[in-house]
Amino acid sequence: MIKYILTIIAIIGIFSCQNTSHPVSDEDNGVVLPLGFPPLPINLDNPLTKVSIELGRKLFYDTILSNGGISCASCHKQRFAFSDGGNHVSFGFQGRSTTRNALSIVNVAYYENYNWDGKFHGSNAIEEIVKTVVHLPFEFNCDSNTVNERLRKHPEYPKLIKNAYGESAEPNLKYAAKAIANFVRSIISGNSRYDKFVKGDTAALNESEKRGLRLFFSDRTKCSECHSGHLFTDNKFHSTGITTHYFDRGRFLVTDENEDRGKFRTPTLRNIALTAPYMHNGEILTLEEIMQHYNNGGKIFINKDKRMKPLGLSQEEIKDLINFLHALTDEDLIKNPKYSKPL
Ligand code: HEC
Ligand code: HEC
């Protein structure tokens, strides 16, 4: 009898652990995942916890890691889906400019390759990016000794770092980078009208947007072969022939392979209506111009992807595609106080 009861309890236990009803909220980190999003990858070096995310949020908006009074949020702004809306390239220490358009940092917890050229990759890539930003002369133009000193003297950070990473954790750049990386990992976007449509709300898209959706996922345009999956990116490198001569050699800078010249990592298209201007150098200003570029099949360039061919889309079809791209905007992301500057 007792054995029988234990078996029942065990079965109930298994079922409650396997409960996959969505949205998923992990008790420990408070990150809510939209339907269709797989569990976040686990970084054993830096577990995603509520306290580390909260600390990271404070640091993300703080100028303490920089010289010249800038923060991560100077270039990754919530209202532009954490891109640097309006700026072709971004401006860091004393107005010095970056060489590329600031990427929108949503759903990046799922990525393998980071930056337009994949310079950073693997499970600690975001921590590495933070440390690099601190040192780059055209971003924070600072150094770890200065940062460590400032954190040590700060009235709150020494305690917050210990709360997040344990009693032995010293207030230094290493832990600041871990916490910021975890805040960045917590920025999830998947509640656009497109997502609502996919979940079964057929009224979430109008007829033009539905036609655009079909074109986007069609064999004719092949948009979804590169801008694929729930992230709208394959996280791989391609040249779309936006120019006949790439000043920025892209993936080549990482691999030194000629076949990688002019290739850039496919950017996500989530919230694309909020993140103009476009492409790695921000040279394309509008979605209309983007569609012209694809409809023409791109310029002549040796490494241009084979799929880049004239598409023969009518003006009406172009409009439908653009309307579909607008339906990828997630209003919750830009309003969510969880991602805003803490009070
Ligand atoms: C001066 C502007 C600027 C500042 C400040 C800045 N970034 Fe960025 N960020 C960029 C640019 C530009 C890129 C694209 C770089 C590239 O591809 O070479 C980028 C890329 C990234 C990426 C990679 C995204 C992807 O899709 O691969 C992450 C993550 C990121 N930044 C996080 C941060 C964090 C965290 C901070 C604060 C520590 C920060 N950034 C500060 C401009 C900035
Ligand atoms: C061969 C892969 C591939 C295909 C097919 C493709 N794209 Fe892209 N897309 C990319 C890459 C790579 C970039 C970035 C190129 C660069 O910056 O040089 C990009 C950039 C974009 C951008 C600008 C994103 C930003 O944040 O700057 C938009 C919008 C876009 N694509 C839409 C589309 C649409 C719509 C289609 C179908 C008509 C399409 N793409 C087909 C790979 C592809």
Residue nearest to atom 42 of ligand 2 (CA): 266
The verdict on 46 and 177 lying in the same domain is: yes
Flag whether 267 is in a domain.
yes
Among residues 169, 188, 207, which one ends one of the domains? Answer: 188
Q: Could you give the angle at the alpha carbon of 110 between the alpha carbons of 80 and 288, nearest 5°? A: 40
Using 50, 70 and 90 to split pLDDT, how confident is the model at 19? Answer: very low
Flag whether 141 is in a domain.
yes
pLDDT at 3: 46
pLDDT average, residue stretch 112-141: 96
The verdict on 174 and 284 lying in the same domain is: no
pLDDT average, residue stretch 168-179: 97
Amino acid at 79: R
Q: Which ligand is nearest to the CA of 110?
A: 1
Q: CB of 260 within 8 A of CB of 111?
A: no
137 CA distance to ligand 2 middle (Å): 30
Flag whether 339 is in a domain.
no
The verdict on 204 and 147 lying in the same domain is: no
Residue 222, sorted as left (phi over 0), alpha (psi -120 to 50) or beta, turns out to be left
Roughly what angle, to the nearest 10 degrees, separates helices 144-153 and 125-135? 100
Using 50, 70 and 90 to split pLDDT, how confident is the model at 86? Answer: confident
Among residues 188, 210, 239, which one ends one of the domains? Answer: 188
CA torsion sign, 126 to 127 to 133 to 135? negative
- Domains of the chain: total: 2
Q: Which residue has the tokens 């061919």?
A: 309
pLDDT at 25: 53
Domain that holds residue 261: 193-332
The verdict on 156 and 251 lying in the same domain is: no
Which one-letter DSSP state was computed for residue 77? B
pLDDT average, residue stretch 280-285: 96
Q: CB of 232 within 8 A of CB of 268?
A: yes
Site residues for ligand 2, CB cut-off 6 Å:
221-223, 225-227, 238, 240, 242, 264, 266-267, 269, 272, 275, 278-280, 290, 294, 305, 307, 321
129 CA distance to ligand 2 middle (Å): 24
Q: What is the per-residue pLDDT across 217-269, written as a single tens digit (0 to 9) for each?
A: 999 999 999 999 999 999 999 999 999 999 999 999 999 999 999 999 999 99
**216 CB-contact burial (10 Å; exposed 0-12 / middle 13-18 / buried 19+):** buried
The verdict on 216 and 309 lying in the same domain is: yes
The verdict on 131 and 215 lying in the same domain is: no
Amino acid at 230: H
Flag whether 123 is in a domain.
yes
State the closest ligand 2 atom to the C-alpha of 313, by its place in the atom list counted from 1: 38
Amino acid at 77: K
Q: What is the residue-wise DSSP string for 59-77? A: HHT-STTSSSS--GGGTSB
53 CA distance to ligand 2 middle (Å): 31
The verdict on 240 and 214 lying in the same domain is: yes
In the predicted structure, residue 6 carries a pLDDT above the cut 50: no
Flag whether 14 is in a domain.
no
The verdict on 203 and 184 lying in the same domain is: no
Q: What is the per-residue pLDDT across 128-147, written as a single tens digit (0 to 9) for each?
A: 999 999 999 999 999 999 99
pLDDT average, residue stretch 12-33: 54
pLDDT at 35: 87
Q: Take residue 190 and report the two structure tokens written for it.
A: 């998947």
pLDDT average, residue stretch 201-205: 97
The verdict on 222 and 134 lying in the same domain is: no
What's the CA gap between 318 and 288, in Å, rounded? 8
For residue 70, what is the domain's CATH number?
Answer: 1.10.760.10
Average pLDDT, the chain: 92
Q: Take residue 18 and report the two structure tokens written for it.
A: 């396997």
Flag whether 234 is in a domain.
yes
The verdict on 120 and 213 lying in the same domain is: no
What's the CA gap between 243 and 241, in Å, rounded? 5
The verdict on 39 and 162 lying in the same domain is: yes
pLDDT average, residue stretch 92-106: 92
Residue 212 sits at φ, ψ, to 5 deg, of -60, -40
The verdict on 175 and 226 lying in the same domain is: no
In the predicted structure, residue 18 carries a pLDDT above the cut 80: no
Flag whether 25 is in a domain.
no
Q: CB of 300 within 8 A of CB of 243?
A: no
Flag whether 308 is in a domain.
yes
CA 272 to chain CA centroid, nearest Å: 12
Q: Which residue has the tokens 């207030």?
A: 171
Helix (H/G/I), strand (E/B), else coil: 316: helix
Using 50, 70 and 90 to split pLDDT, how confident is the model at 68? Answer: confident
Q: Could you give the angle at the alpha carbon of 196 between the alpha carbons of 195 and 202, nearest 5°? A: 120
Among residues 164, 188, 212, which one ends one of the domains? Answer: 188
What's the CA gap between 58 and 139, in Å, rounded? 19
130 CA distance to ligand 2 middle (Å): 26
pLDDT average, residue stretch 104-122: 97
Residue nearest to atom 13 of ligand 1 (CA): 102
In the predicted structure, residue 22 carries a pLDDT above the cut 70: no
